[in-house]
Amino acid sequence: MGANRPRPASVRAAPAPEMRAERRVPPQYADRVTTHHRVDVSVDAMIEDLRTLVEVESPSRDVHALRASAETVAAVIERRLGGEAVLVESEAGPHVHWSGGGDPRVLVLGHHDTVFPLGTLERRPFRVADGRVTGPGVFDMLGGLVQAVHGLAALDDLSGVEILVTADEEVGSRSSRALIEERALACGAVLVFEGAADGGGLKTGRKGCGTFRVSIAGRASHAGLEPAAGVNALVEAAHQVLDIAALARPEIGTTVTPTVASAGTLDNVVPAQATVVVDVRVESAEEKQRVEAAFAALAPHLDGAQITVEGSVGRPPMPESASAELFALARKLVPGIEGVAVGGGSDGNFTAALGVPTLDGLGAVGGGAHADHEYVVVETMAERANLVTGLVTAIRSA
């Protein structure tokens, strides 16, 4: 389908940040008549495309594997939608960009990197059984990509539609953020195909999230002969962990969680080095600023200890206001569908922070993201593909 559609021009490198200020004024999507007309999609074809993507493993930071994955994603898009899917080179691996031509109106956003190391597929191969599809990356988020492509393939006209599938979402989107922001601003609406919330709900808000690394330098000495001559980096780290944990304000959604710590070399040496890694989640820009300032102000408790802090809340919060118009539209298309604010971040955080209407969690219905029991519910795949068709139709009519 779509073999005669025009080939789009290759995407250029992302513009400088000062060029991002120009963006489409968001239309009032929910004011449009949006009767949802069900279209025929082949679940068997979706499953075969999903198998194709899953069986090309794509762990983050493995550039060689991600190139093979990007080429496979591009081939699936071209086969189903026509045109040309362009590989956009980056240090993290190739991103995939496709355009249906015409004035850009809606960006379909996803990623093809997964958290699973090479060899996972041998241990946990792609399977369809008992109404579920299983395999590494099926839920986060290759199933959503396949549903998006098949939902778009049901449209007679793909003008105004762009697809961007990045290679580094699972590791912070450092190489793709500028491109994501450029295309979001150009299109004016973003549909993110991360896995659905529990029960198939859409994700209408996300916390901002980031990682901090606190490094402590002390001074080594013999633990038995001269313990007082050293500066114990492990003891200093213990003080810092308590200070850091106290930054949390769970009553307003701020979590500050020390997750990984290391220190010391031998059991008879006062440790000279220690590190503490901290996961941070916030619901507001004000909390982002407060927590970042608090980390910058961390001070040692022990004389002679030194502290270095790296990191930030790299993904800004996605407020529910950013999804309000598109979620109202989705509820007209699928009455009763739920919207949920969640703690995890996605590339939708970046687009929402720009003021671009963004709706997330449009991907596969299932569960077990990043776990061995990851799965997609087969009977929901056609309905989710149909939701793509309806959303894009309505957005372009606004």
**CATH number belonging to the domain at 208-315, selected among 3.40.190.10, 3.40.47.10, 3.40.630.30, 3.30.70.360:** 3.30.70.360
Is the model's pLDDT at 313 over the cut of 70?
yes
Tell me how far apart the alpha carbons of residues 315 and 205 are, in angstroms, rounded to a whole number: 13
- For residues 26 and 351, what is the distance between their CA atoms, to the nearest angstrom? 13
Domain boundaries, the chain: 17-207+318-397, 208-315
Q: Please state the pTM of the whole predicted model.
A: 0.87
The arrangement of strands across the sheet holding 366-367 comes to 127-129, 132-134, 375-377, 366-367
pLDDT value for 38: 66
For residue 101, the number of C-alpha atoms closer than 13 Å in the C-beta half-sphere is 12
Indicate the residue type of 167.
A
CA–CA separation, 204 vs 207, rounded Å?
11
Task: From 361, 336, 332, 339, select the one nearest 349 (Cα to Cα).
Answer: 361
368-398 burial, b at 16+ Cβ within 10 Å, e below that, comes to bbeeeebbbbbebbbebbbbbbbbbbbbbeb
> Residue 29: is its pLDDT beyond 60?
no
Residues 103, 332: contact at Cβ < 8 Å? no
Write out the H or E segment, with its range, that includes residue 70. helix 63-81
At residue 83 the predicted structure's pLDDT band, cuts being 50, 70 and 90, is very high
Q: Rounded mean pLDDT of 305-311?
A: 98
Place of tokens 């004011």: 31
318 contact partners, CB below 8 Å, separation of at least 6: 205, 206, 207, 208, 345, 346, 348, 349, 352, 353, 358, 360
Give tens-digit pLDDT for 359-398. Answer: 999 999 999 999 999 999 999 999 999 999 999 999 999 8
Which fold is adopted by the domain 17-207+318-397?
A: Aminopeptidase (3.40.630)
Residue 37 is encoded by which pair of tokens? 């007309």
DSSP per residue, 281-313: EESSHHHHHHHHHHHHT---SSTT-EEEEEEEE
Q: List Cβ neighbours of 265 (8 Å cut-off, separation of 6 or more).
A: 220, 271, 272
pLDDT in tens, 105-149: 999 999 999 999 999 999 999 999 999 999 999 999 999 999 999
Decide if 17-207+318-397 and 208-315 have a common fold.
no
Instruction: Report which of 370, 393, 383, 387 is spatially closest to residue 136, judged by C-alpha positions.
Output: 370
List strand residue ranges (DSSP E) for 112-254, in order. 127-129, 132-134, 161-166, 190-192, 202-206, 208-217
- Model confidence at 24, pLDDT cuts 50, 70, 90, reads low
Percent of the chain with pLDDT over 70: 90
pLDDT class of 238 with cuts at 50, 70, 90: very high
pLDDT at 253: 95
Q: What is the pLDDT of residue 398?
A: 83
pLDDT grade for 40, boundaries at 50, 70 and 90: confident
- Rounded Cα–Cα distance for residues 22 and 35 (Å): 32
